[in-house]
Structure formats: structure tokens, C-alpha cells
Structure 1
Amino acid sequence: MDAVADLSDPALVARAQSGDLDAFEELVRRYQRGILRFCRGMLGNGPDAEDAVQDVLLTAWRRLPTLRATEAASTWLYRIASHRCIDALRKRRPDGGDPAEREASQTGSEASRRLPAGPEGAAETRLALDALRGHLAALPDTQREAWTLREVQGMSYQDIARITGEPLATVRGRIARARTALAERMDSWK
């Protein structure tokens, strides 16, 4: 996956930092899809995720001089994306709660009403994935972030710790708690 191994070489980053738009576009090309997957995991598949990716890329362009030579471009970009998604989730809450959490509670009750087995296997799989998305949205932001970086992006625990700025043990705990909660909530889909 694009986030597991840093695909940028120091020369490409240095060129982008010196104002080379082609070099920055190459960095965008390498990481944009992975960042979009991450933002969708955090914010859902709606326009919020796409807006977040645009904000991440604009922020990255503006802050490119702050990227240290020793820091991987992927870790740096995912850290920006993580902060942007957490901010977006916090902004959702003042007006009566996170809409994703309300959707998750509705999806969860729908999940318990299993469709009969049969040729609609693909449709049932889609329902299960929708239920998973709803339950994922109901997790605390920090657990959702860690779980998405690990399970969707395939990042190492060390990379997640660097992105979130948390100790490795904290990252492991958040992922473990998220896995346990999702396994319990998805039990009816076994």
C-alpha cells in the first residue's frame, strides 16, 4: 500500500520544497488515493471526505517547508489528514451530536434484522459493510483513527504512533479496543 512504505525519495521532497510544482504533483499522485481512503474511513463516503483531502493537500503545499528531511512524506501527510478529520468530527458535535453516530445506531438496529440467505449474497455483504461503517462511526474518534490507519491503510503500529503523536502502547490499546468493540457489534453478521 502507498502508506506502508514511503514512496517519496528525499530528492523529490527537496524539489517540492524548493517550489517545484511537478515534484509536489508527483507526491500528490502517490498519496492522494490513500489519504482519500483514510478520510472516508474517518468521515464517511460523503463530500466531507473529499473536502478534507483538498484541505490536506492545500495545507501540505503551504507547510511543505516544515517537512523535515528525516520525516517520511507519507507520515507527514497522514498526520495532516488525521488532524483535519478529527477537527471535522469535532465540528459535527455541537449541533446535537455526530450524524454518523445517529446513523450508526439506526444501522445497528437494521443489522439485527437479517435478510434471508440466498442469491442476494452480494446485497447482504453490502449491508454488513454498511453496518460495519456505522459501528465504526460510533467508535471514539481516536479509536476510529487508529483502526482505520491499521486495518484500511495497512500502516505499522510505529507509523500510526508517529502520525498520531501517541506512544506505541496507546496506539496498540486503541486498535485492540476498536477491534473488540467492532467484533461485538458485528456478532450478528457471523
Structure 2
Amino acid sequence: MSAAPYRFSLEDADDRILAGRAADGDTRAFEVLARRYGPLLRAYARRILGSNDEVDDVVQETLITAWRDLPSLNDGSVVKSWLMRIVSHKSIDRIRARKNHLDVDDVDAAQPDRLSPHAISEATSLHEAVSQALATLPLDQQRCWVLREVGEHSYDEIAEQMGIPASTVRGLLSRARRNLMTEMEAWR
């Protein structure tokens, strides 16, 4: 009785293997990485940008840059934090290029049909309050908080991405959380 041959699936491959193959020009391996981390890149870009209008463009620019620069990535196992660093820089570049006014159309509030108008109003109010509270934080505190709470990065990953010690990350997160709690008191 012979065993069925094992078929290797790119979907099951770890980041190091995918990054290596993509760096060698394997578009299928890069597509797997893009599918694997695309939702996280979108969520992180949305949090930094504060709206949905530019998210797709920023994620696309991130993936184009990643495809171009992937051969220079020395350790494929850090591809997730590397992609997050790229999307962070691309998002911040977009913010810097913006005009100093907000367009009413930039506000994108989720409106699930199954929720009551009261629940929708409350969720919208909370989202606006958190966004406003985040906007009052220094940029390093904002980035640390978003990477930890939205991107679910470890302290070490955040430290590596921001180029600071993990102890500084802990301090920034502690201050960010304390400042957010203070800012959010009125919302309660």
C-alpha cells in the first residue's frame, strides 16, 4: 500500500519561504503574501489615515514597493513587520500631502442593517471619539497604540518597526492608554 504523494500548497507555506520565492520572481508566492496580510494592511492604513478614501491606494502602493524591494529583505520571516513599516510610511506620506481641511465625505461610518438606529449612533459616536482622542496623542504614541491594538504586534515587533527599544514602546503604550482613557472620560 503506497502513501498518496504529498502536495505542497503555497497557502500553507511560512512567510520566510514565500518571501524567498517572491524575491526570486514567483508571483504566486507574492499573491499569497498579499492575501495573507492585505486585510491587516488595510486596517492599519485606515486607522492611520482616518478614512477609507485613500486606503486602497496606500495598500496598492505598499504592495508595489514590497514587490520591488523584496529582494533586499534579508530575513523573510519578518515580512509582516516589514510590510507594516512600508504601509505606515506610505500612510504618513499621504497625510503629509493632504490639505488642512477635512471633507465631510471622508467620514465613513459603518451602518450594519441588523443594528438599531441607537446602536448605530452609539458606534459612530465611539468611533469619532476614539479617532479624536487618538489625534490628540503625539505621533509616536499613536503609532505604538495602533500597531499594538489594531495590528496586534508584539512589543518587540513595534520596537523594531519604530527603531526604538522595547522599554520605550512599553512607556509610549502606557502613556497612550492613560491619555486615551482621560480623553474618553467624557464619552462614557
Alignment partner, residue 160 of structure 1 = 158
Whole-Å separation in 1 of the counterparts to 2:119 and 2:182: 22
Q: Which runs of 5+ in 1 are unaligned?
A: 1-6, 104-117
Amino acid at match of 2:181: A
Q: Which has the higher contact order (CA 8 A, sep 6+)?
A: 1
Whole-Å separation in 2 of the counterparts to 1:70 and 1:63: 12
Runs of 4+ off more than 6 Å: none
- TM-score using structure 2 length: 0.78
Q: Residue 72 of structure 1 aligns to a residue in which SS?
A: helix
Q: Residue 35 of structure 2 aligns to a residue in which SS?
A: helix
Aligned residues: 166
- Indicate the structure (1 or 2) with the bigger Cα radius of gyration: 2
1:17, distance to aligned residue in structure 2 (A): 0.7
CA 1:188–1:10: 2 relative to 1, 3 Å: same
Is the CA contact (8 Å cut-off) linking 1:8 and 1:27 kept in structure 2?
no
Is the CA contact (8 Å cut-off) linking 2:129 and 2:187 kept in structure 1?
no
- TM-score using structure 1 length: 0.77
Whole-Å separation in 2 of the counterparts to 1:141 and 1:46: 20
1:122, distance to aligned residue in structure 2 (A): 3.8
Is the CA contact (8 Å cut-off) linking 1:86 and 1:141 kept in structure 2?
no
Q: Which runs of 5+ in 2 are unaligned?
A: 1-12, 105-115
RMSD: 2.5
Alignment partner, residue 46 of structure 1 = 52
Alignment partner, residue 173 of structure 1 = 171
